[in-house]
Structure 1
Amino acid sequence: MRTPHAYLLFVATLLTSMGYGATFLLTEHFRALGGSEIQTGTTLGGAMLGTLVGVPLVGWFAWRVGAGRMAGLGAVLVAAGYLGLASLSALTPLIGVAGFFIGLGWGIFFLAAPMALSMRVTDQDRGFWFTRYGAFQMGGIGLSPIVATALIGNLGLTTGQAFGAVALVCLLAASLLAGFEAIAVRPLAAAVKAAGNDWVRALPALLRTRAMYPILMVGLGACVFSGLLTFQTSLVRGTGLQASTFFATYAITVVASRFLLAPLIGRAKGDHVAVILLAVMIAGVIVAFGLAYGVLVQIVSAILLGLGYGLVYSVIQTQAVNDAPPEHRNAALTWFVVAYFLGIFGFPVLGGWLIVNVGTHGFLVAVLLFAIAEIGLALLRGQRLAGERVQAT
C-alpha cells in the first residue's frame, strides 16, 4: 500500500462520513417542515432497513467489481438519499425512502471501504492503517454537523440546501474511491471472493462462542452513540447550548485518542480495557443528565463519550474476531457490523418516540440502561473466559 493511495481513500472516507454525520441535523430539518423527532426516527428506521440490504451486497459483489468501486457506489446512494430529503417541501412518507437510500449507501460503504484497505495491506500493518482510517471516518462524522450548522447560521442556507451540499460532497467522494480502485494494486479476484463467506448460516455456530458477547455489545453501544448524537439538538434545546459544541468535542476527542492512546490500548489486556472504557462511556451518559448546567458539562460529557465509546469499538471488534472460530471470522465481522447498524439506525426510532412522549429525561434513562447492559455483557464475557481458562488448566 502506497501512502498517497491510502490517503486518497482516507479523504474519500472523510467526505462520505460527512453523509452519516449530517443525520444529526435531521430533527432540525423536520422541525422546519413542521415535524418532530418522530420523523427523525422514521427516516433512520428506513436507513436501518437499507443497511440490512447493503451489507450482504458487499459480500456478493465486492470481489467482482472491486471493493473501492462498491464503496463509491455506497457514497452515490448516500448522496441520492440526501438529495431526496433536500427536495422535500412538506412531510411525506418519502422521508423513509430517502432514509433507506442513506442507510443502503452507508451500509455498503461501511463494509466495502475498510475491505478495500484491508486487502491491500499486510497483517502486520493492518492495525496501523485501520487506526488512521478510523480517525478520518470519525473526523468526517463529527465535522459534518459543524460545517452544516455554519452554512445554515452564517450563510443563511436552509437545512435542505445544506443537505444538498452534503450530497455533492458524497459524489466527490465516489469519484475519489473510483480513482483509488483504479490505481491501487489489489489481490486476485479469487482471493477477494474468499472473503465473502456465508455469514447467515454461520450464526448458530457463532452464538455458541464468546463472539456473541461483543456482537451484542456493539449494538448496545451504537444505541448510546446514536442516542446522544442524533438527538443532541433536542437535548440542548432551551439550554442556550449549541449542539455543534458536543459534535466538535466528541470528534476531536476520538481522533486524538485513537492516534495517541491506540498503542497503549493495543498492549493492554482487552478484557479489562473494555470494562474500563465502558465505565467511562457510562459516566458520559450520566453527565449528560446535567446539560442544563452549562457548556462545561456538555464538553465533559462529549469527552467521556469520545474516550469510552470511541476507543472501545476497536477493542470489542478485535474480540469478535478472536473469539470466533477461524472459519467463521469473516462472518463474525459481518454480524458485528449488522448489530452496529441495528443500534445506530434502529434506536432513534425508539428514541424519537421517547423524547416526544416522555421527555428528554426519560430518553436519557433509556440510553443509560443500554450502556449498563453493554458493560454487563462485557463482565459476563470475562467470567466465561475465566471459566474456560480454568477448564483448560
Structure 2
Amino acid sequence: MAPSDSTSDTPDAQARQSPRGLQAPLFAFPFRLFFLSAALIAAVLVPLWVFLLTRGGLDNLALPPMLWHQHEMLAGFLNAAIAGFLLTAVCNWTGARPVAGGRLLAVWLLWLAGRLAMTFAGTWPMAASVIDLAFMPVLAWLAGIRIWHARQYRQLVLMMVLAFCWVLDLLFHLSGSPHYLHALVVLAAVLILIIGGRITPAFTRNWLQARGRDSARVRTIPWMTPVGLGLALMVAVLVALDIKGTLLAVLALAAALMASLRLAGWSSWQIRDEPLLWILHLGHVWVVLGFVLLALAQWHWVAPTSWLHALGAGAMGTTIMGVMTRVAVGHTGRAMALPPGGILLYALVLTAGGLRVLTALGWLPWLSGVWLSAGLWSLAFAGFLLLYGPLLTRPRVDGKPG
C-alpha cells in the first residue's frame, strides 16, 4: 500500500503489532539486521570454504564446496547487502514506511532459511533449492510495490536486474552449471554501476559543496549511463549463455571504457581525504579492472577466473563495505565520519581483494594466497561487526525513529 492508504505501517502501529522484543532498534529498519547478517556471513563463509576445500567436512552441503562457496557469496552475502540497502533506500525514494518489527524478522528468517538449507539440507537438494529461491521474489515485491505506488518508475530498472538475478539462480539450481553464477557476478557489477553511479557523484558533489570546494568539477554525462549499463548487461547475457571469445572480450572492454569514463568525471582526486567517499570510487575501479580482466581472459592472456575475483572479492567486497559503513553512521543519526579504526577495515578488504586476484593470476602460491586473502577478508567484516555492531543495535542518537 502507498503511505497515504493506511497507518498500519507507521512505527507506532508496528510497535503495537510486534512482540516487545521486536521493538528493539535492530528491527526498526532493514539495514540494521541485514547489514549485520551480511558482515557475519562474509566473516565466516570465506575461511570456512577454504577449510572445507583443504580439510573436508560438512557432508550435508547442498552443493560441492566450490559451487557452494560461489553461490553463497551471492545468495548469502550479496543478497543480504542488497536487502539492507534496497529496503532502506526505497523508503527515501518513495516516502513509504520501512519493513520493520515482525515483518522484517519474517523476511530475514526467509533469507536465513535459504542459507541453512544450502549448508545442511544436501540430502534434500530440491527442497534446499526451493527455500533458497524464495527470498528474492519477496524482496523484489516489498521494494517493487512501494516503488510502483509512489510512481518512482525510474527505480524499476533495479527490479528488472533483481528479476534477472533470480532467473539465473533458478537456472543454476536446475542445471548446476557454474556459468550462471558467473553471470550473477557480472550482474553484481551492474548493480554497482546503477546504485554507485547515482550515489557516488551525488555524495561527492554534496561533500565538496559543504566544504566550499568546486563541486562543478563532478560531471555526469547522461548518455553514458544507459550505454554503459547496456554494455554491462550484454556481457552478463553472453556469460549466462556461456558464449566466450572475441565478442565477449570487445563488449567487456567497451563496458570497462564506459565505466572508467564515468568515473573520470567524478573528480576522485578531490575527495582523497574523505575515506567514506574514496572507498565508493575504488569500488568502481574494481569494476573496470574486472571487465578488463574478463576481456583479457577471452584471449588467454590472463587466468580465466581472475575477473571473477576482481568483481567479487574486489568490487563487491569494497562497495558493500563502503555502503554499509556509510549507511551505518548516516542512518543512525551520527556524524558522517569513520569511527576510530574504520580505515583499517577498508585497508583489509582492499588488500584481501588484491591478494585474491593476484592468487588467481598465479602471481602468488595458491594455498597461501587463498588463506591469506580469506583471513584478511574475514578480519575486515569481523571488524565491521565489532565497530558498527553497537551502532546498529542501539537507537538513533538524534532520537528519531529508525
What TM-score, normalized to structure 1? Answer: 0.34
What TM-score, normalized to structure 2? Answer: 0.34
Higher helix share: 1
